[in-house]
Amino acid sequence: MSRTVLVTGGNRGIGLSIAQAFAKQGDQVAVTHRGSGAPDGLYGVQCDITDPAAVDAAFTQVEKELGPVEILVANAGITDDTLLLRMKEEQFTSVVDTNLTGAWRCAKRASSKMLRAKFGRIVFISSVTGLYGNAGQTNYAASKAGLVGLARSITRELGSRNITANVVAPGFVETDMTAELPVAQREAYAKAIPAGRFATGEEVASAVCWLASEGAGYVTGAVIPVDGGMGMGH
Ligand code: NDP
């Protein structure tokens, strides 16, 4: 059965791997982008998730073209790292506004149609950092930890309506975000990962697709690590 999927930030990186995995299963997949356009085979909507009106317009466009969003993957995210004492107020609030409030905006907009359909799957892309902490990432870690409370509260509000809300917490994944890391730091991180390497986007995507599947209908409020053992189940 083909379902309508929306992946925020699905134009590149982990989001693109997720979008392609759903498309490969035969689902109708829309991705948000901020001007880059959509990769081949995916339906693109321009949307900055920090703008509530843009979020509403993107959902309206997807609903018109592909039907109501049945599976939402809140993936779009940013980093703006520096140590606590050096971090400016704006660096904290902008990361939280994108990673946490942006995900909340999308989940809120998706939920009314999911309630009507009596079906919905919401997956938030968090990070091992949200559970483990990381020096230099107070803003990012706080935003990613917040997604756990968000998913669990949605589970309590909407769980009886056949809507699940879960969190996938990747470790380090090969994307533009981690390409920015200095080589020595990448090597140090890889040594701390029991699997001994960074993940591929496809490895994150397969956990997301499973959470969105019929078979995972009783899994909700969960945090699924995809981190090569880095967080030991957290
Ligand atoms: P990338 O930097 O490669 O891509 C980020 C994506 O988010 C892009 O599509 C970008 O759009 C989009 N985005 C950023 N800000 C906004 C915004 N305000 N509105 C709409 N879209 C936005 O990141 P990754 O693919 O590496 O990361 C994807 C998610 O996975 C993020 O939430 C990240 O925190 C998380 N994650 C990543 C890990 C990693 O090791 N890479 C590890 C753990 C978690 P645009 O192209 O327009 O810039």
83 occurs within a structural domain? yes
Mutational test site, ligand 1, from 36, 59, 175, max ligand atoms within 8 Å of CB: 175
Q: Is residue 218 assigned to a domain?
A: yes
Q: What is the distance in A from the centroid of ligand 1 to the CA of 160?
A: 31
Distance from Cα 9 to the centre of ligand 1, integer Å = 6
Q: Tell whether ligand 1 has an atom less than 6 A from the beta carbon of residue 77.
A: yes
The Cα–Cα gap between 20 and 6 comes to 12
Query: 43, 132, 140, 189: which one is catalytic?
Result: 140
Residue 227 resides in a domain? no
What's the complex ipTM? 0.99
132 to each of 45, 144, 202, how far by Cα in Å? 34, 10, 23
| Cα–Cα distance, 185 to 89 (Å, whole number) | 26
Pocket test for ligand 1, best of 49, 177, 200, 208 (most atoms within 8 A of CB): 177
Q: Please work out whether the CB of residue 12 comes within 6 Å of at least one atom of ligand 1.
A: yes
Q: Is residue 211 part of a domain?
A: yes
Indicate if ligand 1 lies below 6 Å from the C-beta of 11: yes
Asked if residue 49 has its Cβ within 6 Å of ligand 1, the reply is yes
Is residue 229 situated within a structural domain? no
- Our answer on whether the CB atom of 17 is closer than 6 Å to any ligand 1 atom is no
pTM, two decimal places: 0.98
DSSP assignment, residue 121? E
Total of domains in the chain: 1
Question: Who's near 193: CB < 8 A, 6+ residues apart?
Answer: 171, 172, 227, 228, 229, 230
Cα distance between residue 166 and residue 72, in whole Å: 11
Residue range of the domain that includes 39: 4-222
- Say if 121 falls within a structural domain: yes
Tens of each residue's pLDDT in the chain, 234 residues: 899 999 999 999 999 999 999 999 999 999 999 999 999 999 999 999 999 999 999 999 999 999 999 999 999 999 999 999 999 999 999 999 999 999 999 999 999 999 999 999 999 999 999 999 999 999 999 999 999 999 999 999 999 999 999 999 999 999 888 888 888 988 888 898 999 999 999 999 999 999 999 999 999 999 999 999 999 988
CATH classification at residue 130: 3.40.50.720
Residue 233 lies in a domain: no
Q: What is the C-alpha separation between 19 and 9, in angstroms, rounded?
A: 10
Q: Decide if 234 is inside a domain.
A: no
140 is catalytic: yes
